[in-house]
Each structure stands twice: as C-alpha cells, then as structure tokens.
Amino acid sequence: MSVVRQAIPVARPVLDRREAEAAGRAVLSGWVTQGPEVQAFERSFASAVGAPHACAVSNCTVALHLALRAAGVSPGDEVITVSHSFIASANAIRYCGAIPVFVDIGEGTFNIDASRVEGAIGPRTRAILAVHQLGMPCDLAKLVAIARRRYLPLIEDAACAAGSEVMWEGRWESIGRPHGDVACFSFHPRKVITTGDGGMITTRHEDWDRQFRLWRQHGMSISDAVRHQSPEVAFEEYPTIGYNYRMTDIQAAVGREQLERLPEIIERRRVLADRYRERIVVRVPQVSLPVEPAWARSNWQSFCVRLPQNVDQRAVMQTMLDRGVSTRRGVMCAHQETAYAKEPWHCEKRGPVSCMCGPRRCRALANSERATREGLILPLFPQMTDVDQDEVIDALAAAIGLCAV
C-alpha cells in the first residue's frame, strides 16, 4: 500500500484538548444554550476588541442580517457594498428585501474603493456595508467620514477581521471597537478563531444591542437566564417577530478558549505573512503581493497573491495541488454568480434594467472581476512550519513556470 501524503491545507483551525475540555465543561453543566458561557464569551470579546456591547449569534451571516435590520434597512432600500466578497455580504442585504449597490474595489487591493462610495449614494441609500476583506482593514477613516457626512449607518463586515487593527487618531485600535455603528464577526473554521459556527455583533448603540438580544431569541421579552433565576413566576411576551439566531454554550465555551489564543495566533500569522512576502518577492517576482496600508495591521486571515496575467488560475491551482499544496481562488464576486442573475442589484452607474455589460461582466466592477480572476489564496495557518511554507513557495514558482499561456 502506498502512503499518500496529505496535501498542505489552505487553513487549519487551532484546536486541542483545551477546547475539547471547555466543550465538555459546558455539556456537563447541564446548560447548553444561550447561558453563562455565552454571557462570559460576550464579555471577554467586548473587552478584547474594546467594544461597549457584544452580542453572540449563530454565525456572521445572521449577524449581518440583524445589523442591517437595526440600521433600518427595509424592502426597496439600497445598501452600498462590494460584490467582491463572500456571497453572504450581499445575501444579508437581500434578506432585508433591500438592493445591493456594488462599488468596485481599489486597484491592487481587495477592499472597497472608498473614493467611489459617495458617488454611489442615492435617495434610497439606507446604509453602507463595508467589508474588511481577508482580514485586511478597509479604509475606515474615509468611510466613517462619508457615513457621518451623509447620515448613513456604517456596518462593518468583519467576518474575517478578529484581531485586525486600524490606526485611529494616532493609536492602533482593534476592528470591532466599533468605528462605524456596528461590526459583525464570524467564527467559522476558515476564520482565525472558531466555535465551529458562530458570530458576534459589536455595537456602540445600547438600544441596538438590546434589539439584537430580542431578535436572536424569537423576540422573547424575558431571556431564559433571567426567568431561570427569577424567584417569581414570570410570563414572557413577544413584542416583535424574532429569529432563532442563538449561540450555544458549547460553542461559547470553545470560543472563550479561542479568544485567549487570539494574540498568539495573530502573532504567528504575521510572522508567516512576513516570511511569505520576503521570500516570494525574490523567488516568484511575477506574483503581486497583498498590500498592507500604513494605517492597517491585518490578522492575515488569508494570504492572497495576484497571479500575472499570462497564467491560467485554474492550471496554477491544479499544478500546485498535484504537488501537494492546496490553494483557493481569489475572493468571489456576487454579481458573477447565477443567484445574482436573478436577484436585483446595481453598480454605482445604476443601469436602467440590469447593470450587466455582458455575461457575468460589469464594466463598473472591473477591479473586482480582475481580483477574482487573478487572486490565489496560499496556505497560512499557525501550525505551518518553515518547511511547509518553503514547499508552497516552490510549488508556486514551479506552477507559474509551467502554466504560462
């Protein structure tokens, strides 16, 4: 029997006995959802990012849904965002019956071009949904200024950005502080810390936080925890329709352990990202490296390079996989997916019927489409060794050489 060596994965969560024991502790406590572990996780997350309020939910997609609802986004409204994101960003806008208005990303970055946002604002614009793509902070200072000037709520899709930082009034501050109105995080295993699935909403508004807590639990006026502790019989009420967007205590217990590891995880990711940059620039100069602006410190949730135009992305990925290195294509564009051939959306030009200039093409989103086509996410995870990383770089160099068209 031949031994097939496992490919180097693109990502791997940092989980061991600590998380297993934490999950066990929650199970044995007899309280397994929306209880003391969730409360403790919320408190430590809020203090880790410097937010006044943090509300745990079942994933980041529902966090975005609730954030948009709290911002007042209703059917027929428009929300400015990027197409170049995981599809959940646009989908959450559609959950509210609103229409995404896709603004292009900056040339050479994977984040929204803040200078194009103001031109996309129209009479029906209700909010701005800015994404910190791949953990790299977008230009919050510019976006917050536009949002304030135009009286629009700013929602941060910080799904990938736990532990990322921005320079804010001369100081490094965590994403989630919140600089806009509300920030939404994901704890899916592809992100830097995980609870299996899970999400967190941080906000500066106490009334929004209260609303999130109602909505995540069916709109129930009294939480289970309060009722459980009450010496008197208490009947709950349902003033509004809510959802079941709860996080379990088993997840939260794992999350508390993960949060303790976060600084160490990010330190290691930054070392590996620096090492990639130093070596790729020498070994594979045809590839463009991700750009970290002077005012941003990425958590390097993903390390996405850009392939030169004369190589085929799929062929490069296959060649690398054949050599035992997993990669992923660059971030998708929602407007190029079949779902958004059926759903309404606009680009900043607001075409009369459809913004599509051709099949899966929108001229106003040229940078986004190009980033999807040229992007290549390389393996990056804390357990990765220098030897693993050198293998990735060797495979990349070989694939670029072989796949020129």
Ligand X SMILES: *Cc1c(COP(=O)(O)O)cnc(C)c1O
- Residue 159 binds ligand X (CB under 6 A): yes
- The continuous run of DSSP H or E covering 99 comes out as strand 99-102
Find the shortest distance in angstroms from Cβ 10 to ligand X.
13
Q: Is 368 in the site for ligand X (CB under 6 A)?
A: no
**Interacting stretch for ligand X, rule CB under 6 A, among 80-88, 246-254, 338-346, 352-360?**
80-88
Residue of 10, 55, 61, 202 interacting with ligand X (CB under 6 A):
61
**203 contacts ligand X (rule: CB under 6 A):** no
- Least distance to ligand X, CB of residue 182, Å: 14
Shortest distance in whole angstroms from residue 308 CB to ligand X? 26
> Does residue number 162 form part of the binding site for ligand X (CB under 6 A)?
no
Q: Taking CB under 6 A as the rule, does residue 304 contact ligand X?
A: no
The verdict on 110 binding ligand X (CB under 6 A) reads no
Q: Whole-angstrom Cα distance, residue 357 to residue 354?
A: 8
Q: Which tokens go with 364?
A: 């106003």
Q: Is 252 in the site for ligand X (CB under 6 A)?
A: no
Judge contact between 130 and 180, C-beta under 8 A: yes
> Across the chain, which distance is largest between two alpha carbons, in Å?
75
Determine, following the binding rule CB under 6 A, whether residue 379 of this chain makes contact with ligand X: no
- d(CA 238, CA 153) in angstroms, rounded, equals 27
CB atoms within 10 A of CB 390: 13
Q: Does 60 engage in binding with ligand X (CB under 6 A)?
A: yes
Asked if residue 375 binds ligand X (CB under 6 A), the reply is no
Tokens 């799929």 label which residue?
314
How many residues are recorded in the chain? Answer: 405
Does 201 bind ligand X (CB under 6 A)? Our answer is: no
Half-sphere exposure of 120 (CA within 13 A, CB side): 31
Which is closer to ligand X, CB of 106 or CB of 199?
199
Report, in angstroms and rounded to the nearest whole number, the Rg of the chain calculated over CA atoms: 22
Could you tell me which of 70, 88, 259 has the C-alpha nearest to residue 157? 88
Positions that interact with ligand X (CB under 6 A): 59-61, 85-86, 88-89, 131, 157, 159-160, 186, 188, 199
